[in-house]
Structures are given as structure tokens and as C-alpha cells.
Amino acid sequence: MKLPAIDLGLMAEHLTAHEGVIFKLQTYYQNVQNPLLKRVLKSHIDTLQVHVAVMISLIDPNRIHKVQLPEISEILFTETLGELQPWEKNIALEGSFTAKSMGTNNFNSAAMMKDENVKNIHLQMSYQDIHFQKMYNKLITASDGGFVPMASKDMQWMTVQKYQHLLSNNY
């Protein structure tokens, strides 16, 4: 199937990024001891390899059928986290950032893509990437490694009052 040039260019760039990210995550996987972090890394690697296979299928000029992106399996946090070593916490932080970055890239790329199948698959990939960001963040939070500053109720209420007028139907 013939693809728009922008779709091919974006996927070629994504494949290059996947090559480096998969290698990095495999290196992390080989070095971590925490079993839950190891499971998240393995699932992330497997999912990115599926993304590669799907993009190669999309690029195949002899393709005649619509390509589907398989669902990812949920990682259940049934066992206790155990302790993340400081360097493992840093790997989880890096994994979260990588997943967020790839999710943002897939979403933004989908907005530019022209082929509907390619566009929809990249939107699905972005959701899968964000799923991994959430998994890493669960590990980080459980190891007391995350910090999210919270807004005050007063600040939230001031914001509601400032923009409440946007809900009026005056047009």
C-alpha cells in the first residue's frame, strides 16, 4: 500500500528512536534486581518490539490489509514492591520520562499523519506509552521517590472564578 511521504518519514524516525530505546531498556533489564521493575521493563521492551513490527507492516509497500495494533497486557502489582535501590529508582524515573516522551511523540506525529490506519495506530501507541509511564510512576511512588506539588484549594477556587464566565452561552 502506498503511503504519504510524511507518514513514511515519521515512522522511519520512530524506528530509529525505537532501536536506541529498546537497547537502553534491555541494558536496564539486565542490571536491575527488583522483580517488579524487571517485569515492567520486560513488558515495555516487548511492547516497543510490537510497535516496531507494526510500523514495518505499515511501511510494507506490498501490504493490502489494514494493520492492527495488539492490546497490551495489564501488569498487576500483586506482590509487594520490595526495595528499589537508588539506582533502580533512577532507572524507573528514566523509564517514566522515556514512556512520556514517546507517548507525546506518537500523539504529535499522529496529528501530522495522513493515512487513517497509520494515524489511528500511532494514537493507540501513544496510549500504550502513557500506560507505561503510569506503571513506572506507580513504582516510583511506592518507593517514595516521586514528588508532585499540590495547588491550594484557594488557588483552585480563584481559577474557577476567573474562568467561570466561559460557561455562559452568550454568542
Pick from 111, 121, 127: which is nearest to 6 by CA?
A: 111
CATH class name, domain 5-167: mainly alpha
Domain extents for the chain?
A: 5-167
pTM more than 0.75: yes
CB 95 within 8 A of CB 40: yes
Q: What pLDDT does 129 receive?
A: 98
pLDDT at 81: 74
Which parts of 105-150 are beta strand (E)?
none
8 Å CB contact between 139 and 85:
no
Class of residue 139 by CB neighbours under 10 A (exposed 0-12, middle 13-18, buried 19+):
buried
Give the long-range contacts of residues 58-62, CB within 8 A, separation 24 or more.
Answer: 58/3, 58/7, 58/11, 58/115, 58/117, 58/118, 58/121, 59/3, 59/8, 59/11, 59/12, 60/1, 61/1, 61/2
For residues 28 and 91, the answer to whether their CB atoms sit within 8 Å is: yes
Q: What is the pLDDT along the chain (171 residues), one digit of tens a residue?
A: 899 999 999 999 999 999 999 999 999 999 999 999 999 999 999 999 999 999 999 999 999 999 999 999 776 666 677 788 999 999 999 999 999 999 999 999 999 999 999 999 999 999 999 999 999 999 998 888 778 889 999 999 999 999 999 998 876
How many C-beta atoms lie closer than 10 Å to residue 7's C-beta? 22
Residue with cell 528514566: 94
- The answer to whether the Cα torsion of 83, 24, 46, 128 is positive or negative is positive
